[in-house]
Amino acid sequence: MKLKRFRAAAVLAAALLAFLPSTAQAADYPDPLAISGQEIIHDPTVQHLKNGLYVAYSTGGIIGARVSKDMRQWDDAGNAFAEPPSWWYEYNSTGDPWAPDLSYRDGTYWLYYAVSSWGTNHSAIGVATSPTGMPGTWTDHGKVFSSETTDSWNAIDPGVIKAEGKLWMAFGSYWTGIRMVELDPKTGKAVEGATVQHLATRPDLPYAVEGPYVVKHGRYYYLFASYDACCSGVNSTYKIKVGRSTSVTGPYVDSSGTSMLEGGGDLLLAGHGRYVGTGGESVFRDHGHDWLAYHYYDADDSGTPKLGLNKLSWGHDGWPTVE
């Protein structure tokens, strides 16, 4: 009888867990790295520069900058630019840039970013270069790629990767989801007449997926993206999902084989405890390890957006998890 009661209890517990997946999973998410100093950030992109400093650029200011010697103490370092390039005002009245992406290629740092206004796909992605990657050293080179209200995509949230002998930029927010276009490696701008690839979307309006970032690990390319709603403080529902492909242009699928064009994607990180609305992610490599950078809204600090950093580990099956 005791064994039967134990089995019955086990079945009941399993049934209850099936109805509470988010609660069960949330307990398993690790907290971000403990940091201090200037923690406030949104849509971070992080790199370990050749000068030994870590830099994080973000939405806010004229591409706001933070620097650190050890990834733990972060200090305000002003902005990438002293003033907005004049062409930004074509896309919003304040010259406000969003969601930068920092990379290093061919001896040069490349900073991609978006300019748009809330709720429209009249948007553009621009690029700047720097010999050091430090704020105040950037030269802007204008538009890389743009979208208009007649397009079925939104040219914001750039994420650049060199792959298969070419340079590629993933981008997208709502509309029809995540897209990709080939770039000219010399100019860093979209190849004229390039096909706009489709990487991920959702089956339901308003197709709430954005902020793509593509990483190569082993023989696969991994597409990280932010799902659901950002920018609402403690009411934000942002979470990060991932899929993979043997080709940089897809098709990307999750661990069950469901295409990310059909709503697939493995949940990598969601809000838990004080760390609400985890998203706006990017990935950087440091001392042989991959790190996930993102923002969360601090429920213990009135929903202030702050920098989250977690090491990524890769399982024997090739799928990433956060530490």
- Give me the active site residues, please: 43, 210
Is residue 38 within 8 Å of 66, Cβ to Cβ? Answer: yes
8 A C-beta contact, residue 9 and residue 287: no
Give every CB contact of residue 308 below 8 A, 6+ residues apart in sequence.
32, 33, 275, 278, 292, 293, 294, 295, 296
The tally of CA atoms less than 13 A away on the side-chain side of residue 247 is 7
**251: preceding bond cis by omega (within 30 degrees):** yes
Q: Which residues of 109-118 are buried (b: 16+ CB within 10 A; e: fewer)?
A: bbbbbbbbee
Cβ–Cβ contacts within 10 Å for residue 14, how many? Answer: 9
Contact 208, 202 (CB under 8 A): yes
Of 227, 232, 230, the closest CA to residue 302 belongs to: 232
Q: What are phi and psi of 42, to 5 degrees?
A: -145, 130
Structure tokens at 192: 């004229």
Q: How far is CA 153 from the centre of its chain?
A: 17
